[in-house]
Amino acid sequence: MAAKNAAENITMVLYPNDASENGKELRLKQQYFLASASLQDVLERWELHHGMDFSRFAEKNCFQLNDTHPSCAVPELMRLLVDEYGMGWDAAWNITSRTMAYTNHTLLPEALEKWSVRLFGRLLPRLLEIIYEINTRFLTEVARRWPGDNERQARMSLIEEGPEPQVRMAYLAIVGSFSVNGVAQLHSELLQQGLFRDFHELWPGKFNNKTNGVTQRRWLAAANPGLARLITATIGEGWIRQLDELRRLASHADDPAFRSRWREVKRANKVRLAELVKRDCGVSFDPDALFDVQVKRIHEYKRQLLNILHVIHLYIRLKDGRDADWTPRCVLIGGKAAPGYFIAKRIITLACKVAQMINGDHQVAGRLGVAFLPNYRVSAMEIIAPGTDLSEQISTAGKEASGTGNMKFMMNGAATIGTLDGANIEIREEVGDDNFFLFGLTAEQAEATRRHYDPDAVISADADLRGVMELIESGHFNQFEPGLFDPIIKAIRSPHDPWLVAADFHAFAHAQERAAAAYRDRDRWTRMSILNTAASGKFSTDRTMQEYNEGIWKLTPVAPQG
Ligand SMILES: *Cc1c(COP(=O)(O)O)cnc(C)c1O
């Protein structure tokens, strides 16, 4: 029973963290188990058809490492070929380094997986030996290229030295792979100039970009049957397999009859979303208001805080009677926080308290509504994206690798308010600046701002932001729970706030005003909505997969059946 339980434990839970929270023994066991099982399955089937002839193995197989989570596959394939199949090191390395390809998913250094050498050696001693051998040979190559540059050797080593030496899994994946890609243009550039700069200098040809996509079969055809029917009635059903065909909707964007049908579909989807919000949050949303939505994992770099600060700003404006030309707005924030991520949990608390205060205030009723949606998940997103007017993609520039929520919203006819980050940049390129609410520092400006950042000065100089901070600091949202939001206040006011929340507030509030004004012009907004869907063709996973195949896998495409 003990052995059976121990075995079952390995895959009993899926780790819920999208970034950071490292070092758990069970996680490493899980990663090794799944990587090894996959490789053994492939090798067994190869042997069945080709016996011990591995001469064409590399040509016929490719392992796409989806982040560093399966990167044990590099030393494990070496172990299987050398120890189990009796191959020499050089032949085995030739096969391994011609079959592995690595996709990086994050620029946050704290999210890069590292395992302590101690834990790794206790659990996987043979793999650690193999990693040391890979490292010795690799560092010899580095030394040949840059003789005497010991600092660079230490920087690039697969082992990070220190009181508790660590195995750098991303570096292991790069050294073991023939292809390394990021998931949006900016992200791939920043990888090459920043995080993996040394490796790019050594092997520039390894690096490439594959911008993410989402599948229109789930995110448009299945999730939004109303819009799918209207699109098919207008341009035929070609878009289901060839998303570029959505382009043909653009010529209908100025047709009043088409606009009116488009608006009816969006309204019905907003009613459906309002029902979800009522059921899961107990808050009533008016389907005629602007539906302003931010749903994604809760993380400081995604800046749910910036969104909440803006909501408080709108609340203050209403209370002060600064409400000329008001656009009624319903703000939905949703997402899960990793269990151990304290400040993310506290951001959720703030969102809930602000929502409670605003929704309970009869003076603002009908003009501003706020809800925090718990248990955000794919089945919820299938209702949320079709019912959204304004998609919040407001990460600190340079931090969101790609984003895919941004693509689901665009496909469903939402306009984006966003920074120049991840795939937002490509979304804006496709849809045009007139149909995208851009704000904020660029990745380069953000980097420069961090060197002399003074949030207290920013707050003092901006009456709107000052008002927001003073209201939070007065304890207005935490009566009877003194100090509840002190950690948040401290984070925003810290000169070391890496996310630059205060720095982007003014530009964000201004972009929000532009969006509100655009929404008041119903025809202009509907046109913008149509043009967003029409320009979303690039963001199909079909295009992404085709690029992976042409650049990396080299499979012969098979025509779809039926
Ligand atoms: C699309 C999606 C995400 C990713 O959203 P981002 O805004 O790109 O971070 C996360 N969770 C769920 C449930 C999703 O559907």
Q: Please name the residue that has the structure tokens 């792979």.
A: 177
Q: What is the distance between the alpha carbons of residues 377 and 296, in angstroms, rounded to a whole number?
A: 9
So what's the pLDDT on residue 110?
A: 82
CB distance 437 to 508 below 8 Å: no
Q: Is the pLDDT of residue 494 over 80?
A: yes
Which pair of tokens denotes residue 294?
Answer: 């931010």
Ranges assigned E (strand) in 446-512:
none
Nearest alpha-carbon partner for 435 in 419, 411, 408, 415: 415
Cβ of residue 404 lying under 6 Å from some atom of ligand 1: yes
Which pair of tokens denotes residue 391?
Answer: 């998609």
Q: Percentage of residues in the chain with pLDDT exceeding 90? A: 95
Q: Which among 224, 299, 301, 378 is the best mutation to test ligand 1's pocket, defined by most ligand atoms within 8 Å of the CB?
A: 378
The catalytically annotated residue of 68, 96, 103, 105 is 105
So what's the pLDDT on residue 553?
A: 98
Is 297 annotated in the active site?
Answer: yes
- Section 253-281 average pLDDT: 98
Which pair of tokens denotes residue 487?
Answer: 């950690």
Average pLDDT, the chain: 97
Cβ of residue 373 lying under 6 Å from some atom of ligand 1: no
Per-residue pLDDT tens over the stretch 539-558: 999 999 999 999 999 999 99
Q: Give residue 19's pLDDT band: very low, low, confident or very high (50, 70, 90).
A: low
Question: b or e along 323-346 (b: 16 or more beta carbons within 10 Å of the residue's beta carbon)?
Answer: eeebbebbbbbbbbbbeebeebeb
Q: Is the pLDDT of residue 21 over 60?
A: no
Beta bridge partners of 209: 182
Q: What is the distance between the alpha carbons of residues 177 and 190, in angstroms, rounded to a whole number?
A: 19
Is 50 annotated in the active site?
Answer: no
The catalytically annotated residue of 408, 428, 527, 538 is 408
Phi then psi for 540, rounded to 5 degrees?
A: -85, 140
Per-residue pLDDT tens over the stretch 429-462: 999 999 999 999 999 999 999 999 999 999 999 9
- Section 522-538 average pLDDT: 98
Q: What is the distance between the alpha carbons of residues 470 and 100, in angstroms, rounded to a whole number?
A: 54
Please tell me whether the overall predicted TM-score, pTM, comes out greater than 0.85 for this model: yes
Angle, vertex CA 559, rays to CA 555 and CA 562, nearest 5:
150
- Section 15-39 average pLDDT: 84
Q: Which residues touch 101 (CB under 8 Å, ≥6 apart)? A: 62, 63, 64, 65, 177, 178, 179, 180, 181, 552
Four-CA torsion 456, 190, 424, 177, nearest 10 degrees: -140
Nearest C-alpha to atom 2 of ligand 1 is from which residue? 405
So what's the pLDDT on residue 168?
A: 98
Which pair of tokens denotes residue 213?
Answer: 């996509």
Is 399 annotated in the active site?
Answer: no
State the distance from the centre of ligand 1 to the C-alpha of 43, rounded, in angstroms: 35
Per-residue pLDDT tens over the stretch 171-208: 999 999 999 999 999 999 999 999 999 999 999 999 99
Cβ of residue 383 lying under 6 Å from some atom of ligand 1: no
The three-state (H, E, C) secondary structure of 506-535, written as one string: HHHHHHHHHHHHHHHCHHHHHHHHHHHHHC
Q: Is the pLDDT of residue 20 over 60?
A: no
How many CA atoms lie less than 13 Å away from 233 in the CB half-sphere?
A: 9
